């Protein structure tokens, strides 16, 4: 087996299908072993950020786009008077770059609890099929806005396909050939990419990178809303959007906490397990999600210079919550638990609580520690039960504003 430089964390043989253990969170590629929080932040963390960018999600362009905010509607009597429901349009580019109405835009739906004593903590999560879907239900059950607002949380959402359509070939005019319904979005291509051919070659970013970038643009708006506590914004997501949420939290330290629901391969599940969706499977079906380099690890997972426990570690010392579902075998629930568990040493190094479990907890028995985890009965979905546990974790780990 080809071995990557760096050190190895020994793990029980039964946990991985690729021999050799996991890349050691503490050991840099040149063999340097970090022993302090300072060394983690100065050496190992930047090294890992660079590796995840260049080898997996792609490098996020460091471009700041002018952004204008337009409140399209505001209803202070939503959810039986419990919420103010706001629709906000974010328009990108300088005035005159595009005809009015034709600018790249993102449309954010925000619910904020009425009668809050001060700025509120807020969940920010991308949705699959449009903002209406999560209010009324569509592909999945509607999100429990009323419950979250009653518990004091705001919720903000936008459709991921506004940022980057989840299809191949948009820039060549083939967007309509996609199987995914939205195709609303046009942001990444006109703004960042001239031609389709080289769009994700080598280390150029893929869709997950673009979706993570879009989450940060929503955050740009949220930090300027005085009713939102900018220090308590939780980035959350389900499935492919759970992968994007983690990558967003790794890159954007303004997110106070990350929630990754059923994120599976490319999210929290360890690639070296080869259980459920593999690097080969995901890069064959969804090559567009990653940079070109990632496909080179298909069938060669042992040569990855990281595994997904280190993506979780990039969120440290901030709270992170990982959720699995019993029947969601494609996402490898045990691999998701292990991804959370093997991030623990970095939380310990940084002087905060890690995960409060050494073995997989039973179904419906949430682990409430700073690295939180639960597995519930049922399949691949983000349910009211999941949301309630996310709010429990945020209640526990995000300090109330004084």
Binding test (CB under 6 A) with ligand GTR, winner from 234, 265, 382, 398 = 265
Q: What is the smallest separation between the CB atom of 268 and ligand GTR, expressed in angstroms?
A: 11
Q: Which is nearer to ligand GTR, 90 or 322 (CB)?
A: 322
d(CA 14, CA 301): 16
Asked if 159 is part of the footprint of ligand GTR (rule: CB under 6 A), the reply reads: no
165 to each of 101, 235, 244, how far by Cα in Å? 19, 20, 14
Looking at the Cβ atoms of 103 and 162, the one nearer to ligand GTR is 162
In this structure, what DSSP letter does residue 322 have? Answer: E
Distance CA 206, CA 193 (A): 11
CB 90 within 8 A of CB 215: no
Q: Taking the complex as a whole, how short is the minimal distance between the CB of residue 331 and ligand GTR, in angstroms? A: 7
Which residues, in sequence order, are bridge partners of residue 383?
none
Smallest distance from ligand GTR to CB 213, Å: 18
* Per-position x/- string for 89-118, each x denoting binding to ligand GTR as judged by CB under 6 A, each - no binding: ------------------------------
If one asks whether residue 381 binds ligand GTR (CB under 6 A), the answer comes out as no
Distance CA(210)–CA(63), nearest Å, equals 12
Active site residue 73: no
CA distance 234 to 121: 8
Tokens encoding 104 = 């790249």
Q: Going residue by residue from 224 to 263, which x/- string records binding to ligand GTR, judged by CB under 6 A?
A: ---------------xx-----------------------
Q: Note if 239 is an active site residue.
A: yes
Instruction: Specify the residue, 44 or 240, whose C-beta has the smaller distance to ligand GTR.
Output: 240
Out of 83, 207, 239, 369, which one is annotated catalytic?
239
Cis bond before residue 382 (omega within 30° of 0): no
Instruction: Kindly state the helix (H) or strand (E) to which residue 77 belongs, with its residue range.
Output: strand 67-77
For residue 22 the two structure tokens come to 């996991």
Least spacing, CB of residue 142 vs ligand GTR, in Å: 17
Strands 105-113 and 154-159: antiparallel
Nearer to ligand GTR, 170 or 239 (CB): 239
Q: Is 140 exposed, middle or buried (0-12, 13-18, 19+ CB in 10 A)?
A: middle
Which among 17, 181, 216, 380 is annotated as catalytic? 380
Distance, in Å, from the CA atom of 177 to the CA atom of 382, rounded to the nearest integer, reads 27
Q: Which is nearer to ligand GTR, 6 or 182 (CB)?
A: 182
Question: How many residues in the shown chain lie near ligand GTR by CB under 6 A?
Answer: 6
Distances (CA, A) of 286 to 161, 179, 196: 15, 12, 16
| 264 makes contact with ligand GTR (CB under 6 A) | yes
Site for ligand GTR (CB under 6 A): which residue of 164, 168, 277, 332? 277
Cβ nearer to ligand GTR, comparing 21 with 237:
237
Q: Which of 149, 159, 249, 282 binds ligand GTR (CB under 6 A)?
A: 282
Quick one: which H or E segment has residue 107? strand 105-113
Instruction: Provide the binding-site residues for ligand GTR, judged by CB under 6 A.
Output: 239-240, 264-265, 277, 282
Catalytic residue set:
239, 380
């Amino acid at each position: 087996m080809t071995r990557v430089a760096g050190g190895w964390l020994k793990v029980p043989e039964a946990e991985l299908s690729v021999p050799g253990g996991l890349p050691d969170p503490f050991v840099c590629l040149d063999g340097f072993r970090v022993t302090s929080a300072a060394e983690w932040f100065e050496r190992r963390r930047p090294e890992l950020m660079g590796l995840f960018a260049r080898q997996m999600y792609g490098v996020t362009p460091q471009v700041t786009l002018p952004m204008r905010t337009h409140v399209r509607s505001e209803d202070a009597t939503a959810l039986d008077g419990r919420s103010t429901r706001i629709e906000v349009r974010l328009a990108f580019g300088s005035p005159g770059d595009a005809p009015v109405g034709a600018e790249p835009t993102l449309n954010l739906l925000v619910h904020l609890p009425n009668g809050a004593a001060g700025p509120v903590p807020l969940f920010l999560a991308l949705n699959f099929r449009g903002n209406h879907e999560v209010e009324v239900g569509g592909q999945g059950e509607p999100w429990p806005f009323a419950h979250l607002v009653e518990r004091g949380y705001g919720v903000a959402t936008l459709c991921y396909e506004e940022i980057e359509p989840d299809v191949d070939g948009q820039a060549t005019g083939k967007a309509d050939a996609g199987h995914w319904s939205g195709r609303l979005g046009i942001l990444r291509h006109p703004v960042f990419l001239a031609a389709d051919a080289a769009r994700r070659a080598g280390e150029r970013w893929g869709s997950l990178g673009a979706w993570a970038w879009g989450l940060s643009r929503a955050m740009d708006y949220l930090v300027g809303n005085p009713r939102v506590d900018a220090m308590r914004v939780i980035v959350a997501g389900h499935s492919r959007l759970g992968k994007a949420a983690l990558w967003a939290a790794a890159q954007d330290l303004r997110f106070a906490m990350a929630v990754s629901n059923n994120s599976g391969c490319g999210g929290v599940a360890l690639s070296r397990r080869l259980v459920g969706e593999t690097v080969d499977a995901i890069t064959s079906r969804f090559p567009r999600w990653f940079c070109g380099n990632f496909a080179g690890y298909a069938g060669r997972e042992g040569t990855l210079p990281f595994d997904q426990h280190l993506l979780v570690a990039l969120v440290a010392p901030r709270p992170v919550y990982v959720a699995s579902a019993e029947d969601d075998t494609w996402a490898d629930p045990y691999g998701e638990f292990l991804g959370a568990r093997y991030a623990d040493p970095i939380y310990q190094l940084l002087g905060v609580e890690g995960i409060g479990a050494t073995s997989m907890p039973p179904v419906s028995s949430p682990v409430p520690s700073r690295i939180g985890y639960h597995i519930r009965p049922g399949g691949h979905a983000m349910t009211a039960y999941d949301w309630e546990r996310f709010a429990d974790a945020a209640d526990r780990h995000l300090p109330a504003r004084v």
